[in-house]
Amino acid sequence: MNTRALPPTTWTTGTTEAIKTGTWRAALPAYLKRPAPCQAACPAGGEVARWMEQARAGDWYGAWLTLVENNPFPAVAGRVCHQPCESACNRAQYDGALAICSLERHIGDRALAEGWRYPEAPVGTARVAIVGGGPSGLSAAYQLRRRGYAVTLFEAGNALGGLLRDGIPHYRLPREVLDGEIDRILEQGIDVRLGAVFTTAACFARLAETFDAVYLALGARAPRRLAVLPPDGVRILDGADYLAQVNAGHTPALGRYVAVIGGGSAAMDVARSARRAGHDVRVLSLECEADMPAQREELIEAKTEGVLLVGGVMVSAATQDDEGLRLDCVRVRFHDGKTDVIPGSGFTLEAHAVILAIGQDPRLAPLEGMLEIEAGLIAVDERGATSRAGVFAGGDAASLQRFVTHAIGMGKRAAVEIHRWLEGEPPALPGARPTVPASAINTFYHPRAARIGGGRQAAEHLEQAAAEAARCFSCGQCTYCDNCFDYCPDMAVRRVAAGYEIAADYCKGCGLCVRECPTGSIVLREELR
């Protein structure tokens, strides 16, 4: 054999460090902090994977601190949030989404029970005014105060909470929970002015001149009317007004039969509150029952409590006398915002009272001329900035996403941007970052385990909550499990203070570390050489 024709043998009696296997490579792994899909879907930007990991480790206080970085209302959100995080959860297709909302409620309730407090806020001199003490205004006040601003919160009503207090019924959101989370925000040192109604352009302009920045969180309280109903109908009530009366303990007497018009969450609250007040309640909505915008759980609960849902129906005319109202209705197919009447489907309904829950609009007349108004909302950019420098806005007054956590998220984002604006920093425009896909998770390391009871019930026991937290894939959150370190055939993964790094001289780009990562925290990037 001609040994000269063979390449020289590579061997060593010492370490293999002389062999730079990295030169064979066409791709290089990289540790990447990508948001989990639950975090991207949460309107408040909740870092679910991080607080789940703390909960799993038994650090419940740490988990609460992480939660409240983005949302000072975990016990409230744990009861009323529409839970987009759970729909986005990577575990949904595997064996059931994490019960994120349940755990959030568990941690929020625990914080209230144990009297956990926020760290003391720093004291600064810049002054920010907030108008509107609903979830959006309170979220902004909290975020600004903890950044050291002197915050003055103006609220037209005689209590804080906005629709959390006036709209959402007690049976869904006990007032001691709401009060507990609001009090904790106020303890940071916020100057609250109740009964302060801003009704004229001059009031708003003076505010903008007096304070260094302003956040407007006025909500949407002007009820929408239905043209076919008599305009002066004494038996026709607005849903939010009705709920405000019930929630304040002044339930109006309405007669036996009550028709609620609308198919959203507010309509369900009205219907269920009226049912609790002893009425026979029918809910009439354009959408068929399966398409009603209220959350499934609310529809099921309403029906269980005896509310009759009548979907695919439109009220075409109404007359009233001393006894009540006669509603002429037709059956409809409601699709893509269009209503097709089904010929010959007319019928009549009698009711002692009708309660409208078809939405509300902001009252913006005093702001016209001072700020740009677009399609009935305060026009804001991604930062929540209005057309006037130093004035920001959010919540229902500036968005059609009418959800509590959306309002909280807008308040938080505006506070961050107000801070940057006052500091002379450029806006922190986040942009949508790609999230960790389910395919990036190696499920071999996550044995199947049933989700704890769904819905908004809090995880009852600590063990139950800990077991649920342990189901989290920790998408995009390195848990320092050492899999990449152990599996790398070239010992190209090194432990460093902040986690791991890839030694590029030795990595062949085989991608084993990527495949064995249980959390989707490593990606393989092709290299052009």
Ligand X SMILES: Cc1cc2nc3c(=O)[nH]c(=O)nc-3n(C[C@H](O)[C@H](O)[C@H](O)COP(=O)(O)OP(=O)(O)OC[C@H]3O[C@@H](n4cnc5c(N)ncnc54)[C@H](O)[C@@H]3O)c2cc1C
Q: Which residues bind ligand X (CB under 6 A)?
A: 80-82, 131-137, 154-157, 162-164, 167-168, 196-198, 217-219, 240, 243, 265-266, 269, 395-396, 402-405, 407
User: What minimum distance in Å lies between the beta carbon of 490 and ligand X?
Assistant: 51
Asked if residue 465 binds ligand SF4 (CB under 6 A), the reply is no
Nearer to ligand X, 78 or 520 (CB): 78
Give bridge partners of residue 496 from the DSSP assignment: 499
DSSP 304-355: HTTPEEEESEEEEEEEE-SS-EEEEEEEEEEETTEEEEPTT--EEEEESEEE
SS3 content of the chain, % helix, strand, coil (to 5): 35, 20, 45
Q: Where are the alpha helices (DSSP H) in 71-116?
A: 74-80, 84-88, 100-114
User: What minimum distance in Å lies between the beta carbon of 134 and ligand X?
Assistant: 2
User: What minimum distance in Å lies between the beta carbon of 165 and ligand X?
Assistant: 8
CB neighbour burial string for 502-528, b if at least 16 within 10 angstroms, e if fewer? bbeebbbbbebbbebbbbbbbbbeeee
Is residue 436 helix, strand or coil?
coil
240 binds, among ligand X, ligand SF4, none (CB under 5 to 8 A by kind): ligand X
Is residue 526 helix, strand or coil?
strand
User: What minimum distance in Å lies between the beta carbon of 62 and ligand SF4?
Assistant: 17
Nearer to ligand X, 331 or 402 (CB): 402
Strands (E) in 183-289, as ranges, are 191-194, 213-216, 222-223, 236-238, 257-261, 280-285
Is residue 439 helix, strand or coil?
helix
Nearer to ligand X, 28 or 156 (CB): 156
Count of residues of this chain found to bind ligand SF4 when the rule CB under 6 A is applied: 27
User: What minimum distance in Å lies between the beta carbon of 268 and ligand X?
Assistant: 8
- CB proximity list for 9: less than 8 A, separation 6 or greater: none
Q: What are the phi and psi torsion angles at 141 (to 5°)?
A: -60, -45
Largest CA distance in the chain: 115
| Burial bucket for residue 196 (CB in 10 Å: 0-12, 13-18, 19+) | middle
85 binds, among ligand X, ligand SF4, none (CB under 5 to 8 A by kind): ligand SF4
Token pair, residue 302, equals 């309403």
Please list every residue from 71 through 90 that binds ligand SF4, using CB under 6 A. Answer: 71, 77, 81, 83-85, 89-90
Q: Which of 149, 154, 242, 473 contacts ligand SF4 by CB under 6 A?
A: 473
CA–CA dist 397, 203 (Å, integer): 18
Q: Which of 25, 79, 104, 235 contacts ligand SF4 by CB under 6 A?
A: 104
167 binds, among ligand X, ligand SF4, none (CB under 5 to 8 A by kind): ligand X
Tell me which stretch binds ligand SF4 (CB under 6 A): 33-41, 211-219, 458-466, 482-490: 33-41
User: What minimum distance in Å lies between the beta carbon of 364 and ligand X?
Assistant: 9
265 binds, among ligand SF4, ligand X, none (CB under 5 to 8 A by kind): ligand X
79 binds, among ligand X, ligand SF4, none (CB under 5 to 8 A by kind): none
CA–CA dist 154, 143 (Å, integer): 16
Q: Which residues bind ligand SF4 (CB under 6 A)?
A: 36-38, 42, 44, 46, 48-49, 52, 71, 77, 81, 83-85, 89-91, 98, 100-101, 104, 405, 472-475
